[in-house]
Amino acid sequence: MKPALIIVDMLKDTFRRHPESPIVLECKKFIPFLNDFIDLFHAKNYPVVFACDSFLPEDFIFRAGLKPHSLRGTEGSEPIDELHRSPSDHIVQKRRFSAFFKTDLDQTLRTLGVDRIFVSGIATNICVLTTALDAVSNDFSAVIMEQCCAAHNPEAHLAVIKAYKKTPLHPLLQVLNNKECLELLKAQ
Amino acid sequence: MKPALIIVDMLKDTFRRHPESPIVLECKKFIPFLNDFIDLFHAKNYPVVFACDSFLPEDFIFRAGLKPHSLRGTEGSEPIDELHRSPSDHIVQKRRFSAFFKTDLDQTLRTLGVDRIFVSGIATNICVLTTALDAVSNDFSAVIMEQCCAAHNPEAHLAVIKAYKKTPLHPLLQVLNNKECLELLKAQ
Amino acid sequence: MKPALIIVDMLKDTFRRHPESPIVLECKKFIPFLNDFIDLFHAKNYPVVFACDSFLPEDFIFRAGLKPHSLRGTEGSEPIDELHRSPSDHIVQKRRFSAFFKTDLDQTLRTLGVDRIFVSGIATNICVLTTALDAVSNDFSAVIMEQCCAAHNPEAHLAVIKAYKKTPLHPLLQVLNNKECLELLKAQ
Amino acid sequence: MKPALIIVDMLKDTFRRHPESPIVLECKKFIPFLNDFIDLFHAKNYPVVFACDSFLPEDFIFRAGLKPHSLRGTEGSEPIDELHRSPSDHIVQKRRFSAFFKTDLDQTLRTLGVDRIFVSGIATNICVLTTALDAVSNDFSAVIMEQCCAAHNPEAHLAVIKAYKKTPLHPLLQVLNNKECLELLKAQ
C-alpha cells in the first residue's frame, strides 16, 4: 500500500481564539505524536495533506451559532505552526466538512498512487469522520487515528470511536490507536 | 421552509436476505411511523426521495467482508413494497453511502425549492449520517429522524444519535424524534 | 488500453418527436456504423455505456426555448430501439450535458479498468464534446468519433470537429473517423 | 440579475514563457478592455473570479505533449500583474479545464447570489468554453465574451465563437462582443 496522512482543521483561528477550549487542550496532548507521524511520512516520501477550512463570511454554516472563522485567504485558515509542515506537503482548502467535498483531493491521491489514508485532526465526529467515510466512497481505504483526533467534548469523540470500531466496512474503514497505526505502516 | 423526506436504503435485498437480522427487525418497528410521514409529505406535495444503493459487482466496497448486494439494475436494489411509494416520488441510485455522493440530488432539491431534508432509513451511522452531513455541506438544513432509522446494532445507532444531538452545527443539523419532527413540519 | 464506448443522447423523445429534423436524419445515416462498433465492443467484452438525458420538468435548461423532453422516468429518455443494446450495458442518467456531470461514470470506468473512451451520439458541440473533455479532466483518454456524431446543423458539427482535431491535448483527446477508430481499437 | 466575471487562465507561466506566442499576443490586445470590465464589476460590487490552472507535476494531462506548467503553489500559476486585481477578488485553483471541475465555484456563486457569469480568458475552445457550459449545467446563465478570449490559433477561436453563437441553449448560453456585454450589464 501507499498511504497518505491527512491532517484536518488544525488551524490558527481555532487555536488562537480558543486556546483553553477542551478540544484545543485535547489537541495539544496529541500534537507530539502527530508530529512523529508527520516525520515518518516525510521520511518515507508518503504524501502529507493539510485539509483546512476555508470559508466565505456569507457561508450557510454561519447561519447557525458558529461565528465566522477560518475565512478563505486569511492567516486564520492556515495550519498551526506547531506542526512539522514541509514545503512539499499538500494544502486542501475545503469549504465544508470532508476534505473531499468539492475539492480535487481524490484526484490528487489517485495521481500520487495512494490507496489508503490516515486521518487525524478535528473534529472527530464531523470533519475527521466525513473525510474517512468519503475516502472509502472514493475507493481508498481509511484509518481514523483515534489517538490523534479530538471532538468538542470527550463524549462525542468516544461515541464516534466506538461506533466505527466495528462496522460492515471493516477493514476498508478502521479505527486504530497510534501503536496499531505504526504496525500497519510498517507492515507494508 | 420546504422540506423533503429522504428514505435511505430500505431495499429488497436487505429485507429479503436478512429478514431476522437486528437491523431489519428494528426497521419493521418503525415502518408504520415512516409511512405516516410519507403520507404527510405526499398530502402536502413535499418531495419524497428514495435513495437506493446501486452497486456494481466489482465495487471497491465489496473487497472487504460485504457480499455483493443491491446491484444496479436488479430488483434487490429497489425500495421494499411495504413503503407507501407514489409514482411521483424520486429515486436516487447511489453508488456509496451518502445520497449526495456522485448524484444530482443537490440539484434536484434546489430545483424543487427544498431547503431542509428529513433523513430516515438505514444505517444510522453510515448512510443516514453521511446523507445528513452532506445535506448541510450542500447548504440544506438536515434532520436525522432518530425514531425512523436503525443501525446494525442498537449501540451504533444510539452512539450516533447521542453524538449528533448537540453539535456546533445545531440547528442546521438536528436529531429529532417523531413528535419533534411533526412539530417542526407543522411550524412552517 | 481498455476502451469503453459511450453513446450520448440517442433517445426516443428526440427521434419520435423530430423524425425529419436535420440532426435525426444525420443520426440515421451513422446508426449502422455505430451498431458495428457496439457489436465490436460487445464481442471484446468492453463496456458500452448509454448516457441519457434525464431531466426534471422544472429544470433550469427549460427556462429558455427548449421544450421539456427526455424526462426522468419516462420512455422518452430511453435509448432508441435501433441500437444494439445488451442487458449488460450501462445506463447513465445524466441531468445535463456531460455524461460525467453529477454522475458516477468516472467511478464506474475506473472500477472496470477503462482508460480510454470513444464518444458518439448527439449533439457534437454540446453533450458529445463536454463528455470527451470531462473524460480527459477525469484522467481518461477520449476519442470523438467524428462519423458517429451529429449536431443540430452540419456547420456546428464541422466547427467542433475542426477545432478539436489539433489541440494541445492531443493525443489524450483525439477526433477520429471510423477507420481510424477501428485501427486504434485493433492496435491494443 | 447579479453577474460575476470569470477570468480564466491569464497566468504568469503562459505569459512569461511564451510572450510571443499567438495566444499571448491576442491576449495583450484585449487586456485593456478586460480591465475595463474588471473595473466595472468592482465599481458595482459584482464578484470577480480568477480561475487559475493549478496542476501537479504528475498530472495526467502532462502525459501528452504539454510541458508541466502552472504548478500548484508556484508563482507561475498566479494571474498576471497586468490585470486589475483587487484583494477581495476570488481565486479558484482549478485542476483541469473548467473552473467548476472539482472546485467549489458553484457554491461560491450561489452563496453570493450570482445568477449569470461572464467568461473571459484562455483558451476559448477548452477552458473558457467548458467553464461556460458547466455554468449552464450548474444552473447559471453564461456569456462567452468573444472579444476578451483567445485560442492557440484564430481558427480554433472563431470556430467556437461561431458554433455557440446560436445553440438550443440560447439565451442561457450567449456569445457576446464587448458592446453587447456592456448593454446586458446595464440592462439589469
**Res A81: pLDDT:** 98
Could you report the per-residue pLDDT of B78-121, keeping only the tens digit for each?
999 999 999 999 999 999 999 999 999 999 999 999 999 999 99
Q: C107 vs chain A: nearest CA distance in angstroms?
A: 8
Cell of C136: 480527459
Chains near D (3 or more Cβ pairs under 8 Å)? A, B, C
Predicted confidence band of residue D64 (pLDDT cuts 50, 70, 90): confident
Q: C39 vs chain D: nearest CA distance in angstroms?
A: 30
Q: What is the mean pLDDT of residues C166-177?
A: 95
Residues of C in contact with D167 (CB under 8 A): 125-126, 152, 156
Is B168's CB within 8 Å of A159's CB? no
Task: Please report, for residues C5, C105, C113, C139, C146, the alpha-carbon distance to residue C110 in angstroms, rounded to integers and kept in the order given.
Answer: 14, 9, 5, 10, 25
Q: Does pLDDT of C128 surpass 80? A: yes
Q: D145 vs chain C: nearest CA distance in angstroms?
A: 18
Asked whether the beta carbons of B164 and A125 are under 8 A apart, the reply is: yes
Residues of C in contact with A138 (CB under 8 A): 107
Predicted confidence band of residue D65 (pLDDT cuts 50, 70, 90): confident
Please list the residues that pair with D8 across neighbouring strands: D51, D121
**Res A66: pLDDT:** 86
Q: C139 vs chain A: nearest CA distance in angstroms?
A: 9
C94 vs C136: CA distance, rounded Å = 18
D140 vs C61: CA distance, rounded Å = 10
Could you report the per-residue pLDDT of C55-76, keeping only the tens digit for each?
999 999 999 878 999 999 999 9
| Mean pLDDT for chain C overall | 96
Q: What is the mean pLDDT of residues D58-75?
A: 93
Q: What is the mean pLDDT of residues B143-171?
A: 94
Q: Can you count the helices (H) and strands (E) in chain C?
A: 6, 6
| Mean pLDDT for chain A overall | 96
Question: Domains of chain C, with CATH numbers?
Answer: 3-186 (3.40.50.850)
**Res A92: pLDDT:** 98
A99 vs A134: CA distance, rounded Å = 8
Cell of A33: 505524536
Whether the bond between B123 and the residue before it is cis, its omega within 30 degrees of 0, is yes
Could you report the per-residue pLDDT of B34-49, keeping only the tens digit for each?
999 999 999 999 999 9
Asked whether the beta carbons of D53 and D70 are under 8 A apart, the reply is: yes
Q: Does pLDDT of C166 surpass 90? A: no
| Mean pLDDT for chain D overall | 96
Predicted confidence band of residue A65 (pLDDT cuts 50, 70, 90): confident
B125 vs B146: CA distance, rounded Å = 11
**Res A166: pLDDT:** 87
CB pairs under 8 A between A and C: 8
Running DSSP on this structure, what letter comes out for residue A84? -
Residues of D in contact with B101 (CB under 8 A): none
Q: What is the DSSP pairing of strand D3-8 with strand D116-122?
A: parallel
Torsion-angle region of A70 (φ positive above 0: left; ψ -120 to 50: alpha; else: beta): left
Chains near C (3 or more Cβ pairs under 8 Å)? A, B, D
C-interface mutation test, from A107, A109, A112, most C Cβ less than 10 A away: A107
**Res A151: pLDDT:** 96
Q: Does pLDDT of A183 surpass 90? A: yes
> Residue B167 is nearest to which of A60, A63, A125, comparing CB atoms?
A125
Q: What is the mean pLDDT of residues C98-115?
A: 98
Nearest CA in chain C to B113: C58
Q: What is the mean pLDDT of residues A146-170?
A: 94
Torsion-angle region of A102 (φ positive above 0: left; ψ -120 to 50: alpha; else: beta): left
**Res D1: pLDDT:** 87
Closest C-alpha to B13, from B49, B65, B61, B66:
B66
Nearest CA in chain D to A55: D108
Q: What is the mean pLDDT of residues C88-107?
A: 98
Helix B22-43 and helix B154-165, axial crossing angle in degrees, nearest 10: 50
**Res B66: pLDDT:** 86
> Residue B104 is nearest to which of C73, C91, C95, comparing CB atoms?
C95
**Res D58: pLDDT:** 96
**Res A64: pLDDT:** 82
Q: Does pLDDT of A137 surpass 90? A: yes
Could you report the per-residue pLDDT of D81-121, keeping only the tens digit for each?
999 999 999 999 999 999 999 999 999 999 999 999 999 99
Could you report the per-residue pLDDT of D155-181, keeping only the tens digit for each?
999 999 999 998 989 999 999 999 999
Residues of C in contact with B106 (CB under 8 A): 102
Asked whether the beta carbons of B125 and A163 are under 8 A apart, the reply is: yes
Closest C-alpha to D133, from D174, D183, D90:
D174
Q: B35 vs chain A: nearest CA distance in angstroms?
A: 27
> Residue C102 is nearest to which of B59, B104, B111, comparing CB atoms?
B104
Could you report the predicted ipTM of this complex, rounded to two decimals?
Answer: 0.96
Read off the pTM.
Answer: 0.97
CB pairs under 8 A between B and C: 33
Helix D154-165 and helix C154-165, axial crossing angle in degrees, nearest 10: 150
Nearest CA in chain A to B154: A163
